[in-house]
Structure 1
Amino acid sequence: MSASSLLDLAGIGCGPFTLSVAAHLDRLPEVSAAFFDRRPAFSWHPGMMLPGVELQNSCLKDLVSAADPTNPWSFLSYLVSQKRFYAFLNCEFDAVYRKETAGYFKWVANGLPSLNFGHDVREVSFSDGAFTLRMTGPDGTDITRQSRNLSVGVGVTPWAPDCARRHLGPTCVHASQIAVTPEILSARRIAIIGGGQSGCEVFQALLNRDMTAEDEVVWISRRPTFEPIDASPFTNEYFSPTYSDLFHGLPAFRKGEKLEQQKLASDGASLSTLKAIYRRLYELKHLDGNPARLRLLPNRTLTAMDHGNGQYQLHTTNAFDGGSDVFTADVVILATGYHTAMPECLAPLSRRIRLTDSGQYCLNRDYSVDWDGPAANRLFALNASRHSHGIVDPQLSIAAWRSAEIVNALLGRNHFDLTLPPSMVEWASGHTAALRIAAE
């Protein structure tokens, strides 16, 4: 393979975080990069595009603006290109619709020449200073590309409790598939498992359909109540590059403590959604006298799940009083979150990649994976650093910043000026801060 065909960066997966890296590199013609995705075209959470669903993020936290506000792939550029800049401003949105964000991502994906859809990367190996990607192209042909560096941005995988996993099928689905299987919402008896934002959105969608005496919706959550996300100013400091940098330097046990303490900063429901649900419940119960059985069940942990005679039996324990309950449903929707996993195509490299005790990548500050290969050949992991960089990782909050860090590491120079003044909050002790400065 000629030197001219050797890429500087090859990427697996073309989700939003890969889009961010590609959008930054689009302004650097000296860097040769190509990104590959098995899907035939870009799509973002198509199964969660329910009506009126909002994103829990500022539109300024887009793919590029935090590091390069003049980049033509910004959200504001998207609005201008769609001829709706003023209409968007006039709406005075507190939060952007998820459909709007998906439209923005698709616009970027359709405009970046470095993205290649319909390319299924089957295997990645490494030798002689280059990663070799073997893939199947859109027409079924075998394709091989080589690159000095690699990025992995395959996204997260829907997660289900052990007791529910074996029941996954037409009437037991993960919430990520709701919008692509809308017929499931027409069932009369439905159980929702999970009290985060996804659970809220599904419950709200059910409340907005015609409810009759035959309808029963049970909403089960381990949380002590249906809790709002903490989006207050000082809590939002968790979603800053400065805090993420400090978090990375903490020992593993302390990181685990902080992630648990900060759960509601990233995993609560939006207050507007909770208010809409409560008001709809008030309308149905007190104004309409609607006979539907709508049961909100916090403090419950799903411990077992059986299926027979066309219905599910959901066994739960109650952390409020120590009791137990059994609920029945025709359909179960699992709003139980996601987990990260190493893609199968990296199997040839798996023994060379260092993992944590819980099986996650050991990541350096620049989001490169700790592996036994040459330092000049980096493997970057996107959306796989919650355990190492904090709760901000799966959010869009510092996507542009993280991508700029990766581009700087790729270039071996500070193309982006990522220096920041001190945080409003003094998180670290003086001793820790001194050690951090010395390490730099």
Structure 2
Amino acid sequence: MTDNKVADVTGIGFGPSNLALATALAEPAPPGPGRPLKAVFFERKERFSWHAGMLLDGATMQISFLKDLVTLRDPRSPYSFLNYLHHADRLSDFINHKLLFPSRVEFHDYLAWVAGFFEEQVTYGSEVVDVRPVSHGDAVEHMDVVVRQRTAAGERTVVQRTRNLVVATGLEPYLPPGTLRSEHVWHTSELLHRVEQLPSAPRRIVVVGAGQSAAEAAEFLHTRFASAEVCAVFSRYGYSPSDDSPFANRIFDPAAVDDYCAAAPETRRMLLDYHRNTNYSVVDPELIDELYRRVYQEKVRGRPRLNILGASRLASVEPAGEGVDVTVESLVSREHTTMRADCVVYATGYRPADVRGLLGSMAGLCKADELGRVEADRQYRAVTEGDVHCGIYLQGATEHSHGISSSLLSNTAVRAGEIADAVRADAAAMRGCDVRT
């Protein structure tokens, strides 16, 4: 089945990045001739959700509410977090709460509220399986996006022809090589869904990882199961605090993308290395203090339940009855300790999705660097080879070319606006119009 109406923009994925793009395309275009752009989105999930497995009570965002889907691009937008609060009749309450960082649950509700405005443009339960070039003469003018959809009557395949493609599939949960998921071995992305399957009084839970998600999971499980032992295993000596200082946070500013794109490759690597502690394998200092307080108080009472196994690694995880046998190796003494656990929760982070695999037949027309990463210009448009007139834009998978904010919420509003402007400019050029900005 083919949609004969050519879309100006087709988005793969409908998380925060392409949701922000939808809001940018919905904004009034700059003055000039033209028509509204037709945009459609395909999302693999059955409904809108964002990190649903980690919507823990008490967990807060690590960015200001002003870094929502629109405000840095257009503070007057109707899709702002403040307008959401106004419609929810909580604006005064939020102000009185004196919050800069809303709860993760509330921010998810905000995102879902915005997504509700674009339900006619997005098709859920849809997985893109190929992107095929459509040539006119020697030039590739369009792409056919092949989509497998799940319906009440079963699966069907549809083809959407498009002028531009925006890939925003987000990050994929990462597990160490050789790790096998099971009912006793999970990733933190599944935490809230899986925790209900545990016994009402588990004896021991092992959490692997040293970042924010690992610390949140340890704190959540320690609170949820009042008699369980929670063992946190990681190779660092202890949790490291995130750098949330004002000067360091400038690495997330929109202007930092210009600097990063203009820098030499060795400078880009240096900047990433210097500022990894703003985002990777680090924990909010307040949460570190809370976990340390718990460890200390349990030592005072002589009933240690939260055990921090630093400078250690998981040597093996083996199925054992209604749980797993976990062997932990000390990186200092090389001593091995084996313990029975009800489950192992891996908080080992995320990795960018395989963009080239997703692009299918179009992947061969995209330039890649020596590591196989798709190259993109300043407007996040994939650099193509040959006579390709259609555009492929990347939201995420561009950290190597655009910096640490390329897959984060911090710069989403501005990034989406830049892509929307580029698509509008392309559409105007196709009509032979002058572009006004």
**Alpha-carbon RMSD:** 2.6
Q: Choose from 94, 105, 113 the match for 1:107.
A: 113
Structure 2 residue identity aligned to 1:67: R
Q: State the match for 1:53 in structure 2.
A: 59
Matched position secondary structure for 2:404: coil
Judge conservation of contact 1:159–1:339 (CA < 8 Å) in 2. yes
Q: State the match for 1:234 in structure 2.
A: 247
Q: Choose from 218, 224, 227 the match for 1:209.
A: 224
Q: Is residue 338 from structure 1 mapped to residue 350 from structure 2 by the alignment? A: yes
Judge conservation of contact 1:408–1:415 (CA < 8 Å) in 2. no
Judge conservation of contact 1:67–1:416 (CA < 8 Å) in 2. no
Partner Cα separation in structure 2 for residue 42 and residue 374 of structure 1: 37
Q: State the match for 2:291 in structure 1.
A: 277
- In the TM superposition, what is the alpha-carbon distance from 1:130 to its structure 2 partner? 0.5
Counting only pairs closer than 5 Å after superposition, residues 154-193 of structure 1 correspond to structure 2 as 154-163=169-178, 165=179, 167-183=180-196, 186=199, 187-193=202-208
Q: 1:134 to 1:232 in 2, by over 3 A?
A: same
Q: Choose from 145, 167, 188 the match for 1:133.
A: 145
Partner Cα separation in structure 2 for residue 185 and residue 262 of structure 1: 38
Judge conservation of contact 1:190–1:218 (CA < 8 Å) in 2. yes
TM-score, structure 2 as length reference: 0.86
Deviations 1:370-422 (A, max 9, x none): 222545311011121122211122221110011111112112289997xxxxx
Q: Is residue 194 from structure 1 mapped to residue 209 from structure 2 by the alignment? A: yes
Q: Choose from 361, 382, 385 the match for 2:398.
A: 385
Q: 1:324 to 1:247 in 2, by over 3 A?
A: farther
Partner Cα separation in structure 2 for residue 208 and residue 269 of structure 1: 18
Q: Is residue 79 from structure 1 mapped to residue 82 from structure 2 by the alignment? A: no
Structure 2 residue identity aligned to 1:84: R
Q: State the match for 2:271 in structure 1.
A: 258
Counting only pairs closer than 5 Å after superposition, residues 27-38 of structure 1 correspond to structure 2 as 27-28=27-28, 30-38=36-44
TM-score, structure 1 as length reference: 0.86
Q: State the match for 1:432 in structure 2.
A: none
> Could you list the runs of 5+ residues in structure 1 that have no partner in the other structure?
418-440
Q: 1:416 to 1:323 in 2, by over 3 A?
A: farther
Judge conservation of contact 1:303–1:315 (CA < 8 Å) in 2. yes
- In the TM superposition, what is the alpha-carbon distance from 1:272 to its structure 2 partner? 2.2
Deviations 1:210-262 (A, max 9, x none): 533xx332211223421111010000110011112211233334423332221
Q: State the match for 1:14 in structure 2.
A: 14
Judge conservation of contact 1:178–1:184 (CA < 8 Å) in 2. no
- From the two aligned structures, give the one with the greater strand fraction: 2
Structure 2 residue identity aligned to 1:157: E
Partner Cα separation in structure 2 for residue 324 and residue 263 of structure 1: 31
Matched position secondary structure for 2:255: helix
Matched position secondary structure for 1:397: helix
Q: 1:178 to 1:290 in 2, by over 3 A?
A: farther
Q: Choose from 354, 363, 379 the match for 1:350.
A: 363
Partner Cα separation in structure 2 for residue 415 and residue 53 of structure 1: 44
- In the TM superposition, what is the alpha-carbon distance from 1:369 to its structure 2 partner? 1.3
Q: Is residue 403 from structure 1 mapped to residue 416 from structure 2 by the alignment? A: yes
Partner Cα separation in structure 1 for residue 436 and residue 232 of structure 2: 46
Q: Is residue 328 from structure 1 mapped to residue 328 from structure 2 by the alignment? A: no
Q: 1:326 to 1:374 in 2, by over 3 A?
A: farther
Judge conservation of contact 2:175–2:346 (CA < 8 Å) in 1. yes
> Could you list the runs of 5+ residues in structure 2 that have no partner in the other structure?
29-34, 136-140, 427-433
Judge conservation of contact 1:152–1:380 (CA < 8 Å) in 2. yes
- In the TM superposition, what is the alpha-carbon distance from 1:306 to its structure 2 partner? 4.1
Judge conservation of contact 1:20–1:400 (CA < 8 Å) in 2. yes
Deviations 1:250-284 (A, max 9, x none): 33344233322211111221122222222333343
Q: Is residue 369 from structure 1 mapped to residue 382 from structure 2 by the alignment? A: yes
Partner Cα separation in structure 2 for residue 412 and residue 322 of structure 1: 62
Judge conservation of contact 1:404–1:416 (CA < 8 Å) in 2. no
Q: Is residue 98 from structure 1 mapped to residue 113 from structure 2 by the alignment? A: no
Partner Cα separation in structure 1 for residue 370 and residue 316 of structure 2: 28
Q: Is residue 299 from structure 1 mapped to residue 311 from structure 2 by the alignment? A: yes
Partner Cα separation in structure 2 for residue 188 and residue 2 of structure 1: 55
Partner Cα separation in structure 2 for residue 349 and residue 4 of structure 1: 20
Counting only pairs closer than 5 Å after superposition, residues 147-158 of structure 1 correspond to structure 2 as 147-158=162-173
